Amino acid sequence: MALLYSAGATFGVRRVAEIDVLSSTIEQIDKDLRAGKYTAQALMSFYLDRIKALNDELQCFVHIDEGRAMRQAAAADERLAAGETGALLGIPIANKDNISRAGALTTAGSRILGGYTAPYSATVIERLEAAGAIILGTTNMDEFGMGSSNENSAYGPVLNPWSKDRVPGGSSGGSAAAVCAGLCAAALGSDTGGSLRQPAAYTGLVALKPSYGRVSRWGLVAFGSSLEQIGPLARSAADAAHLLQVMAGPDPRDANCAHAVVPDYVAGLEQADLRGTKIGIAEEYFVEDIEAEVKAAVEAAIELLSQLGAVIYSVSLPSTQYALPTYYLIASSEASANLARYDGIRYGQRETGKSLGEVYQNTRTRGFGSEVKRRIMLGTYALSAGYYDAFYGKASQVRDLIQAEFEQVFQTVDLLVTPTAPTTAFRLGEKLADPLQMYLADAFVLPANLAGICGISIPCGFDVAGLPIGLQLLAPAFAEANLLQAAHRYQQETDWHLRRPTAIEKD
């Protein structure tokens, strides 16, 4: 399916060929805008031209509203000229296709929502736009967030900019590939079972999964309501801090959004210091199936953290071995309930039928993809009479156990360090025929969603094929400041996050 462009007015803004923003952080772009090196409109034209040149091949974006983006850029220039401050003012950001934005197509990567235009904006979109950020468009994703490779989309697969025969991870693969390829400065994604952190590991980016309740979920197309969080994908921990600073905080429209005080994440980076920080290494995350190069890169990162003053402890999270089946029972059960609203009556695609039941059946049969159907069936079975206690009930008990183990470990250590994924990015089509192998790609990231804690993935190396390797840091609930400071301190000593793929550059 081709990228959809909404027609807009001609603004006559000449692209500035000298713009060198592809490796710039949000902070650097902000400085350049304020110094008059280029305007927000020229910056936007640069990104739009780049999207037009590269997106047909990579398939990162599914919709671009060029006219709206340029109008927002013009408004940003006026605010900059008036001396307004704010690090996100004029910064082009991509939005995942399951986060509502008023007047924009929001299809969650599914045929069943084909043509659906959101009537309102999610809280995170409202806050970012109020801060002056410019939403370029919506990015490709696994349908309803169900997938680890971005191959389960109605729009086709997204390609990894580091190697176009590889997946970018999922379900936020479109957002990750867009940032990686330099099609935007940063992006939004959602994380139900690692869907931010795993794509970040596969594309060499930073992704932060906030604690459950730290960021409002209002306006997020629901999949697993007790698991998912919206978060940023960016080039650096500092960029992630700028985005989280704007997005975090209470929201009366989301009953599960916490009223906890939001720290100054950006200012906290100045005090980033690992001396005396207690870091736990859980043996359950270093299994036999982990690739040797991934293990070596993570061990080297742990050694560097130790050299920077961290104290390393060996810890155990024995219930981690049950996290994968627990997650898929809970997530599928919640998906079964959430996706029942797609019946062809109220919105989205509608198929014809001789009866109401036939309309439901035909709409869902043709509108949902195979992975979504698989999870709905699993979840419906787990919730059915006679099986609820044996499956969903038991999974909920194990979830409580996993959460309790994290709480106990965090009484001893400040952070946990693990690989983000057991392998680097796998080849397109490699795991489509074996759903279990696909699910195992998220084995290290989904426990954090079950426990409601926060996690971040940062690049820590490359394998011999030139593919990025991710390092995951985990912290207790609402300790995002600690994660960002540790990640920032690590990035002050390394350059993994500064490296970019060159295979996708324009001639």
Active-site annotation, residues: 96, 171, 195
Whether the upstream peptide bond of residue 171 has omega within 30° of 0, thus cis, is: yes
Q: What is the DSSP letter of 88?
A: T
CB atoms within 10 A of CB 331: 27
Of 148, 19, 5, 146, which is closest to residue 68 (Cα–Cα)? Answer: 5
Residue 114 Cα distances to 155, 226, 339, 342, 369, angstroms: 10, 26, 15, 12, 13
Three-state secondary structure readout of 398-432: HHHHHHHHHHHHCCCCCEEEEECCCCCCCECCCCC
The stretches of 59-196 forming alpha helices (DSSP H) are 66-81, 123-130, 173-180
Query: How, if at all, do strands 468-475 and 311-315 pair?
Result: unpaired
Distance CA 469, CA 297 (A): 7
β partners of residue 160:
163
What b/e sequence results for 1-18 when a residue is b if at least 16 CB atoms lie within 10 Å of its CB, and e otherwise? eebebeeeeeeebebbee
What is the SS3 assignment for 412? coil
CB 231 within 8 A of CB 497: no
Number of C-alpha atoms within 13 angstroms, CB side, residue 93?
A: 33
- The token pair that represents 96 in the structure block: 């995942």
| Exposure on the CB side of residue 428, measured as CA atoms within 13 A | 16
